[in-house]
Amino acid sequence: MINRILIHDAEVVVTMNATREELPRASVLVEGDTILRLGAATEIDAWIAQDPAFRYPHRTIDARGCVVMPGLVNCHHHLYQTLTRAIGTGQGRVLFDWLKMLYPVWAEMDPEAIHVSTQVGLAELLLSGATTVADHLYLFPNGTRLDDEIAAARELGVRFHPTRGSMSLGESQGGLPPDRVVENEAAILEDSQRVIETFHDAAPRSMLRIGLAPCSPFSVSADLMRESARLARTYQRVGLHTHLAETLDEDRFCLEKFGKHPLDYAESVEWMGSDVWFAHMVHPSESDMGRLAHHCSGVCHCASSNMILASGIAPVRRMLDLGVRVGLGVDGSASNDGNHMLGEARQAMLLQRVGWPGFESRADRLSAREALELATLGGARVLQRDDIGSLEPGKAADLVAFRVDDLGHAGALGDPVASLLTCAPGRVWLSVINGKIVVENSELKGMDMAALIKRHNAASMGMLKRAGLV
């Protein structure tokens, strides 16, 4: 029997369809893993009543007082970093110094640490409205594998895009990371192929797609960048992901080591195209942004991380105006220290309104609705998915509901959609992923949160002690 869920009589349903319709007093009917119908609540009720024996929903959820919208898409994360929150960021370290401080701690990870940190990070993201998450795991010490976080994610029911990251360029070869945390390039490529062939699902509405993600220009060789791109392109819908143009230090590194600016270097090693998305892109030139748009390469904007590490402000408005595909990511839990996807959309909106050299402060530079679009449809496009990101018949049943009849939104019913970002970001009230209820009444179903946090903190303290930080 195919399960049917009716999300009934929401204050507003935000569709993110081609005309960006917002439907007042509307309902969404889900059948199996698919959105079957949506529209005015009275219309959906009448349609169901025509043939109740066949169409009557198994579950009706009263969504009065809620804004219902597509599930949020997080395009860049390092879930393992929940293990090292607040280390270095509170003291004001910039990216390179912060990484050098934390590499020795991350070298102490084991499979249990990967599993529990994945679940902590994903639990936070799910409770903030995320339904699809792309993660970048690039360290594999002490027998850890990408398999460890995939197993953890499957238990929570999230739509997952894990990327097999890598670092091969240690300090002795002119790279940033210590030699003890880098891998042999042949072994990296061999395991990348294994992970793709074991886990990758290119089918529509897939719950798990693999990407390949050499970490950064300062931690892998040009050969590994090139060979990873060629390997990924022998398969269908295997994406390519890396950090790029995040800091001015990175720009100087690329000029000294490769004689090229970051995007010129990426293009020289075959990293350009619709299958590529770059995290950060804080310091692109006008020419860079034009090329990104021309080649349909994606960008994941990580506002909070770029602020806490003083990396700069990405010119998101300009990229959007030029036609660059842009999504949002909370980035690592140790360079954000939180995993709140709705909060990240709010931060992106606010940061674009602030002035910086070459850009005057402008309150209309990015609206609340544009920021919500980046967090939904924008992220889906960055991940090359046309089956999520909007609420339309035939698309995957990924949707969330936020209450706007609570204390934090009192007085905001004049524009409840904008209030999701102008007011303090709230916890999601309902989350449906692939037609299954994952969060209900703001609680993550089937998760003993106290036990998870206890395991997580034990793993974290063990790593810190072994690394000599506590």
pLDDT in the model for residue 52:
67
The chain-wide mean pLDDT, for the chain, equals 96
pLDDT category of residue 356 using cuts at 50, 70 and 90:
confident
pLDDT for 357 equals: 78
Residue 357 or residue 322, greater confidence: 322
The stretch 189-194 carries a mean pLDDT of 98
Half-sphere exposure of 296 (CA within 13 A, CB side): 7
User: DSSP state, 357?
Assistant: T
- Beta-carbon neighbour count of residue 470 at 10 Å? 10
State the average pLDDT over residues 449-458. Answer: 98
Does the pLDDT value for residue 459 go beyond 70? Answer: yes
Q: What is the pLDDT of residues 229-272, one digit of tens each?
A: 999 999 999 999 999 999 999 999 999 999 999 999 999 999 99
Helix (H) or strand (E) holding 198: helix 185-199
Count of beta carbons in the 10 Å neighbourhood of residue 86: 10
Q: How far apart are CA 448 and CA 290, in angstroms?
A: 48
Closest CA to 275 of 306, 333, 313, 230: 230
pLDDT-derived band at 51 (thresholds 50, 70, 90) equals confident
More confident site: 357 or 232: 232
Beta pairing, strands 22-31 & 34-40: antiparallel
- Residue 54, pLDDT > 70, answer no
Confidence of residue 359 (pLDDT cuts 50, 70, 90): confident
Distance from C-alpha of 375 to C-alpha of 421, rounded to nearest angstrom: 12
Quick check: 361 pLDDT over 80? yes
pLDDT at 358 > cutoff 90: no
**What is the C-alpha to C-alpha distance for residues 384 and 237, in angstroms, rounded to an integer?**
8
Which phi and psi (to 5°) does residue 208 adopt?
-150, 115
What span, in angstroms and rounded, lies between the C-alpha atoms of 301 and 304?
9
Structure token pair of residue 452: 């998870």
The pLDDT of residue 57 is: 86
pLDDT(53) > 70? no
Query: By C-alpha distance, which of 33, 23, 231, 65 is closest to 131?
Result: 33
Enumerate domains of the chain plus CATH numbers. Answer: 4-70+394-444 (2.30.40.10), 72-382 (3.20.20.140)
**What is each CA distance from 85 to 128, 163, 303, 399, 451, in whole angstroms?**
18, 22, 17, 29, 19
% of the chain with per-residue pLDDT over 70: 99
Give the pLDDT confidence of 72-105 residue by residue, as tens digits: 999 999 999 999 999 988 888 999 999 999 999 9
DSSP conformational letter for 375: I
pLDDT digits (tens, 9 = 90+) for 30-42: 999 999 999 999 9
Q: Which of 427, 454, 453 is nearest to 441 (CA)?
A: 427
Residue 1 above 80 pLDDT? Answer: no
DSSP track, 224-274: HHHHHHHHHTTSTT-EEEEEES--HHHHHHHHHHHSS-HHHHHHHTT--ST
pLDDT score of 90: 84
List, for residues 280-325, the tens digit of each pLDDT value.
999 999 999 999 999 999 999 999 999 999 999 999 999 999 999 9
Provide the sign of the torsion angle of the four alpha carbons 84, 86, 87, 93, taken in this order.
positive
Does residue 448 surpass a pLDDT of 70? Answer: yes
DSSP string, 297-319: -EEEE-HHHHHHTT-----HHHH
C-beta separation of 241 from 189 below 8 A: no
**What is the per-residue pLDDT for 333?**
86
- Strand, coil or helix: 285: coil
SS3 197: helix
Rounded Cα distance, 306 and 162, in Å: 22
In this predicted structure, the answer to whether residue 128 has a pLDDT above a threshold of 70 is yes
